[in-house]
Amino acid sequence: MSTPRLTALLAGAALLSLLSGPAAGADAGYFSLQDFPHVPKIDAHVHVHGDASHFMAQAIADDFSILTINVDYPDFPPIPDQERAAASLRARYPGRVAFIATFSVEDFQSPRWAQEAVAQLKEAVAQGAVGVKIWKNIGMALRDPDGRYVMPDDPRLEPVYRYVEAQHLVLLGHQAEPLNCWLPLKRMTVRSDREYFTEHPQYYMYRHPEMPSHETILAARDRMLAAHPDLQFEGVHLASLEWDVDRVAGFLERFPQARVDLAARLVHLEYQASRNRDKVRRFLIRYQDRVLYGSDDSYGPDDSKPEAVADVHRGWVEDWRFLVTGEVMHSPDFPAPFAGLRLPRTVVEKIYRTNAERLFPRAWAADAPRGRGPPASPGTPASGDSAPRVPGRSRP
Ligand SMILES: [Zn+2]
């Protein structure tokens, strides 16, 4: 190569980098912490109830679209109320909000249960729902009169699976709990699990050896997935295999139709990163097309504390810091420091947005403008605009 030509190339490169600003410099392949509010993102796992105008104002300021997930959870409003709130939110923020329906198992013993559950789902889909959530009550709470736990591969759930598959919807499965739930307190890896299961002994499986094991529940889920190779499935909470990215990888290899989300389990990746950062980073790069960002933040409808929105924002920023930067970080959940994963920009874009758009193509429809929404009225919290954000994020 001749020297003058090399010089010209270098000069050209320098000029280009000057013209296009700092992003085109040495770090063009990476986002920074400062990029956070400027990159369009999707939080594909939240539970937003009520009016939520303050929550949405924050989401818009941080450039998040959301997927709010209805759950058959006794601490949440009744399912019809969740559905009405979600449909209304979607209408008020077109292109910004999508939602996932769910079904009640209250009358599971009735011979008409499946028919009614599917009717309930059809109604939600008519309102715009793009998927169906099956919750951990299947496997951990719902029992037959003889005392046996109803498992995810129970034939009585078939009509629901068939409906989801036929409509090309997505089944979002939260089965079991973090493995910590089956371990003695001193072997639990993160503080928030230790606290939660101390405060909620009824859900602490280690204390209930008569209840199904972690493996039993996940094996039943996996038998159901093996029987439905065309069912689009998203294993939320890292498919309850959060303690080892190799186990999540094994799940994704075994079920090519499956995805996972990070909701409320990023702390487990942080914990693993404190021991072997490269392993966690390699996992996310290898499965960059199959991982969705989600926070699991719950919001509303009963209080209107401004701290709640500030908490959501703080959580979003810290998650971004971990995935995007290489900064040394500390978690209140465990003592060891860990470094952010500094994932390439292309991987971050997939995890934070395009994987969700591909999985739910009708969710944030391109023909609907990304709503800026009705203007929030600063200083006058709307009643019912609220957020009990549980430290360590919500359990559903
Ligand atoms: Zn959740």
Q: What is the mean pLDDT of the chain?
A: 88
Read off the tokens for 256.
Answer: 């090519």
Between the CA of 171 and the centroid of ligand 1 the distance, in Å, is 14
pTM across the whole model:
0.88
Between the CA of 4 and the centroid of ligand 1 the distance, in Å, is 60
Residue pLDDT, tens place only, 178-215:
999 999 999 999 999 999 999 989 889 999 999 999 99
Between the CA of 172 and the centroid of ligand 1 the distance, in Å, is 10
Between the CA of 327 and the centroid of ligand 1 the distance, in Å, is 28
131-134: strand order across its sheet: 291-292, 258-261, 232-235, 170-173, 131-134, 97-102, 64-69, 41-48, 297-299
In the predicted structure, residue 33 carries a pLDDT above the cut 60: yes
Q: How far apart are CA 159 and CA 94, in angstroms?
A: 31
For the chain, what percent of residues have pLDDT higher than 70? 85
pLDDT at site 392:
42
pLDDT mean over 356-371: 78
On whether the CB atoms of residues 31 and 324 are closer than 8 A, the answer is yes
Between the CA of 297 and the centroid of ligand 1 the distance, in Å, is 7
Between the CA of 396 and the centroid of ligand 1 the distance, in Å, is 4
Candidate from 108-117, 155-164, 252-261, 299-308 with smallest mean pLDDT: 299-308
Q: How far apart are CA 275 and CA 6, in angstroms?
A: 44
Task: Specify the CATH number for 31-359; select among 3.40.30.10, 1.10.630.10, 3.40.50.720, 3.20.20.140.
Answer: 3.20.20.140
Q: How far apart are CA 234 and CA 300, in angstroms?
A: 25
Between the CA of 15 and the centroid of ligand 1 the distance, in Å, is 48
> Cα Rg for the chain, rounded, in angstroms?
22
Residue 3 CB neighbours (<10 A):
7
pLDDT mean over 94-103: 97
Contacts of residue 64, Cβ cutoff 8 Å, sequence gap at least 6: 41, 42, 43, 316
Candidate from 139-143, 276-280, 341-345, 388-392 with smallest mean pLDDT: 388-392
pLDDT mean over 249-268: 98
Between the CA of 14 and the centroid of ligand 1 the distance, in Å, is 47
pLDDT mean over 62-80: 95
pLDDT at site 303:
59
